[in-house]
Amino acid sequence: MLKVAVLGAAGRMGNAVLACLAESAGMRLVGAVTEPGDPRLGSDAGDAARLGALGVALTADPGDALGEADVAIDFTLPAALAANLAAAEAGGTALVIGTTGLSDAQMESLARAARRIPIVYARNMSVGVNVFMDLAARAAAALGGGYDVEITEAHHRFKVDAPSGTALAVGERIAAATKRQFEEVAVMARDGQTGPRNADEIGFSVIRGGNIVGEHTVLFAGPEEQLRFIHTAGDRKTFARGALLAAQWVAGRPPGLYSMADVLGLASE
């Protein structure tokens, strides 16, 4: 029985992970973390998520939550990363991290921690979206330089980072597949007299509104034809199920920084 802790258990994604975990055979919840000051601290994590009692109380201490865990699933905020990594390293606990908006310094700390524990890091845990990214990268390599690339993403009004981590990830994959430096060709905004489009650009457009779970479109626009790849998430459970798949895969692995491409056996990112 795989013993799992959930970091960020009281959030929207944490609730989805708890719901999927409660349905999963072979896995058991042993720890649940929420932020300090949460009025639900000490209550049953399942009750807080309206799932019914799961027998695990919400705590603000990741070290306490990870005490029995084989693997922890982290859907928190970037500010919580340092404490979560420290707790996982101290207990030798494998980590699955889906937190987006990490800084370069935080990514470096992630790489350092991965020398001591196994970590799966992905800006999107959905199985479908990772296949979507792989297909888009393969298409970019096959189409070559004669097609303009535009990436559009839409999310709910509460999302705080833009473009989404998934949009950035697919842009990075396309840039690598076409031997471009992402930082040099990514265009995050257009306004005013921008002039003609540069052929090497990878453009980004962002929509925020309502309760949109997530939609990503990659457009390859050629002189005589257009090709679109679209992924639409209808429920946060799609990300939760991917995270649980990653948790099963990473438990017992040697230290290292892994991706969902590794979990799914796709081409290396």
3 among known catalytic residues: no
Domain boundaries, the chain: 2-121+236-264, 127-233
Q: Which of 3, 156, 159, 216 is catalytic?
A: 159
Distances (CA, A) of 98 to 7, 91, 178, 197, 226: 10, 20, 27, 34, 32
Question: Quick one: fold of 2-121+236-264?
Answer: Rossmann fold (3.40.50)
pLDDT at position 268: 52
Q: For residue range 141-172, what is the model confidence (pLDDT) as tens digits?
A: 999 888 999 999 999 999 988 999 899 999 99
Whether 79 has a pLDDT exceeding 70, the answer reads: yes
Q: How far apart are CA 116 and CA 79, in angstroms?
A: 21
CATH superfamily label, 127-233? Dihydrodipicolinate Reductase; domain 2 (3.30.360.10)
Catalytic residue among 3, 155, 216, 237: 155
Parallel/antiparallel/unpaired status of strands 148-155 and 214-221: antiparallel
What value does the mean pLDDT of the chain take? 93
Whether 156 sits among the annotated catalytic residues: the reply is: no
pLDDT bracket for residue 24 (50, 70, 90): confident
List pLDDT tens digits, range 186-241: 999 899 999 999 999 999 999 999 999 999 999 999 999 999 999 999 998 999 99
2-121+236-264 shares its CATH topology with 127-233: no
Q: pTM for the complete prediction?
A: 0.84
State the average pLDDT over residues 86-109: 94
